[in-house]
């Protein structure tokens, strides 16, 4: 009969029981594989972040948040819904504590709509229920989202980024009117939802 090793870990084991050194070797291999997988995943995050140029929810269009009302695209007279030569519309809105300016905009149904938003102070959120529109509005950047509203109706637009004590009261509205009724709307009706 062969002599038993003095180290109990090296003694032959009953069938089905794996010796401790085999377990240690296997665990070490799996540890190396897991570390390599973590390294690969970290590398994917870094490489796609740099190569894909991940950036704030905008087209990296910058704008000076301190002079919005004085010059450029977001002066007061340029806010609200504008009709483009191709028949689509562009809506320009400023988000600020604790309101959207203008508070209500009117857009035609079944028409491409481009929202361009920026913030005058802190980060706000812009969400149009039942559409694909959902973006952060970051000061210093112009957020642009495109959609098309299926039918006439009134949409409430909540600010969904906590922006201060008045956050929960920060709502705006989009009034969607039938496409054929839209051209008859005056600029005041388009930017304030007034009825004339």
Binding site for ligand CUA (CB under 6 A): 95, 98, 124, 159, 161-163, 167, 170
- CA distance linking residue 130 with residue 136, whole number of Å: 17
Task: State the nearest-atom distance from the C-beta of 68 to ligand CUA, in Å.
Answer: 15
Task: State the nearest-atom distance from the C-beta of 156 to ligand CUA, in Å.
Answer: 14
Closer by beta carbon to ligand CUA, 163 or else 193: 163
Closer by beta carbon to ligand CUA, 91 or else 172: 172
Closer by beta carbon to ligand CUA, 89 or else 170: 170
DSSP secondary structure of the chain: -PPPPSSGGGS---TT---HHHHHHHHHHHHHHHHHHHHHHHHHHHHHHHHTT--SSSSS-B--TTSTTTSSTTSGGG-EEEE-TTS-EEEEEEEETTEEESSEEEEETTSEEEEEEEESSS-EEEE-TTSS-EEEE-TTB-EEEEEE--SSEEEEEE--S--STTGGG-EEEEEEE-GGGGGG--HHHHHH----
Closer by beta carbon to ligand CUA, 81 or else 119: 119
Closer by beta carbon to ligand CUA, 100 or else 182: 100
């Amino acid at each position: 009969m062969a002599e038993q090793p003095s180290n109990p870990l090296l003694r032959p084991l009953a069938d089905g029981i794996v010796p401790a050194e085999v377990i240690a070797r296997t665990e070490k291999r799996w540890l190396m594989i897991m570390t390599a997988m973590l390294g690969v995943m970290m590398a994917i995050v870094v490489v796609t972040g740099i190569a894909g140029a991940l950036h704030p929810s905008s087209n990296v269009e910058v704008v000076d948040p301190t002079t919005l009302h004085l010059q450029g695209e977001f002066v007061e007279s340029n806010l609200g819904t504008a009709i483009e030569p191709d028949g689509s519309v562009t809506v320009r809105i400023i988000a600020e504590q604790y309101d959207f300016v203008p508070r209500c905009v009117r857009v035609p149904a079944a028409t491409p709509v481009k929202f361009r938003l920026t913030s005058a102070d802190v980060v706000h959120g812009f969400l149009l229920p039942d559409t694909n529109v959902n973006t952060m509005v970051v000061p210093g950047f112009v957020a642009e989202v495109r959609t098309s509203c299926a039918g006439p109706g009134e949409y409430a637009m909540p600010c969904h980024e906590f922006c201060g004590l008045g956050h929960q009261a920060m709502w705006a509205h989009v009034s969607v009117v039938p496409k054929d009724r839209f051209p008859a709307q005056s600029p005041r009706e388009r930017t304030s939802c007034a009825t004339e």
